[in-house]
Amino acid sequence: MTVLAVAAGLLALGLVLRVPGRVLGLMLVLLWVAVLLAHLVLPAGHAIARTLGGDAGSWGAVGVVAALVLGYRHVLALLRSRAKEAPQPVEQGVFSEAELDRYARHIVLREVGGMGQRRLKQARVLVIGAGGLGSPALLYLAAAGVGTIGVIDDDRVSRSNLQRQVIHTDARIGVAKVRSAAAQMIALNPHVAVEPHERRLIAAEAPALFAGYDLILDGSDNFDTRLLVNAAAVATGKPLISAAISQWEGQISLYDPARGAPCYACIFPERPADGLAPACAEAGVVGALPGVLGTMMALEAIKEITGAGASLRGRLLIHDGLYGESRQITLKRAAGCAVCGGIGGPAAAG
């Protein structure tokens, strides 16, 4: 008890005087050495030895245990210091300090991590349309750190777009949508590259354009363009995430016959009759609905690129915004599909 009291007094005095930790440690070591020497030098039963308590063996054991504990803590601190200083092998030479901070919430996700974020940075994604669906998809792809994002659209920003096309602003009315979208994406994340294609997508040019990207997102607003996009995606073997909206309802799926899933034409082989699938300008659409489906498109793209979770490949998700309901339909390839019938992979009657 006497030795413990002296040790406590030394610690208290050191804290009050703000003595460095190493000096305090040295003082405690000197106290231990003095006690141990007293037991070794003084004869057994000496008054000082009795006051100090214990014997040489017990105080020697205390010193050994303390040395082991301090040594273990020192080794741990050394390993932690080296771990902090050493760059992660996945991220070395890939991410700047600013990017590591920006994507930290992705990197800590078990399903994404450093390797998944690296795949996002190296990915090339093409988005068809910078309108209602394209707006949120483009913003979230940029925010997620997709390295190269292409966007094709020949339209210009109009005031009626702003109710749902959140990538554009009132100040950019009259500006080409791809230019407006590119400006907003770079403002959100300057670490991504944006490739604006200010033109209408045509069948003759689509395959060559698609060949330069890893993944296609179709946010077009008409059936003819969706069929064109699907045909080009099938021809180039690119997975296609396609969504459509009308009024309060939307749908989304990942079409990929090269990997066993149906193509868009397997499910929708013919253009619907006039009036059955009116455009948003005719039927109307609640402004937040394309936000929901467009964000789903970006989420599916992130999953497809990183390999996280289960994609919508072979499944059609239908979302009813008016009643807050979602349901899924399993999709199968059509054996006689005129677009993907010759592509390898399992096919069944749709």
Residue 143, phi then psi, degrees to nearest 5: -65, -35
Q: What is the sign, positive or negative, of the torsion defined by CA atoms of 303, 277, 283, 230?
A: positive
| C-alpha–C-alpha distance, residues 320 and 326, integer Å | 6
Q: Are the CB atoms for 87 and 114 separated by under 8 Å? A: no
pLDDT tens-digit series, residues 189-202: 999 999 999 999 99
The CA distances from residue 43 to 37, 53, 60, 87, in Å, are 11, 14, 17, 59
Which of 19-33, 86-100, 156-170 is predicted most confidently? 156-170
Whole-angstrom distance, CA of residue 59 vs CA of residue 70 = 16
Cα(211)–Cα(216) distance, integer angstroms: 10
**Averaged pLDDT of the chain:** 85
Q: How far is CA 227 from CA 220, 231, 270, in A?
A: 10, 6, 9
- Give the whole-angstrom CA distance, residue 153 versus residue 176: 8
- Is the pLDDT score of 72 beyond 50? yes
pLDDT of residue 21: 63
Segment 237-267, tens digit of pLDDT: 999 999 999 999 999 999 999 999 999 999 9
**Is it the case that residue 91 has pLDDT exceeding 50?**
no
With 60 as the cut, is the pLDDT of residue 87 above it? no
pLDDT at 31: 67
**Quick one: average pLDDT of 276-303?**
88
* pLDDT of residue 86 exceeding 60: no
pLDDT at 236 over 60: yes
DSSP 118-166: HHHHH-EEEEE-SSTTHHHHHHHHHHHT-SEEEEE---B--GGGGGT-T
Q: Quick one: pLDDT at residue 89?
A: 40
The CA–CA distances, whole Å, from 109 to 38, 74, 207 equal 58, 31, 35
In 3D space, the residue among 290, 136, 281, 130 whose CA is nearest the CA of residue 199 turns out to be 130
Can you give the pLDDT at residue 59?
Answer: 62
As its CATH architecture, domain 123-330 has 3-Layer(aba) Sandwich (3.40)
8-18 mean pLDDT: 63
Mean pLDDT of 5-18: 63
Q: Please name the residues in contact with 288: beta carbons below 8 A apart, sequence gap of 6 or more.
A: 164, 321
Which token pair is 271?
């253009």
pLDDT tens for 97-112 read: 999 999 999 999 999 9
**315-320 and 249-255 strand pairing:** antiparallel
Q: What is the per-residue pLDDT for 81?
A: 55
The amino acid sitting at 343 is: I
Pairing of β 325-330 and β 215-218: unpaired
Answer for the pair 215, 301: CB distance below 8 angstroms, yes or no.
yes
The pLDDT tens digits for 308-344 are 999 999 999 999 999 999 999 999 999 889 999 867 6
Is the pLDDT at 161 greater than 60? The verdict is: yes
pLDDT tens digits along 16-65: 666 566 666 666 677 667 766 776 777 766 776 666 666 667 767 776 77
Map out the domains of the chain as residue ranges: 2-85, 123-330
**pLDDT for 4:** 61
Give residue 146's identity as a one-letter amino acid code.
V
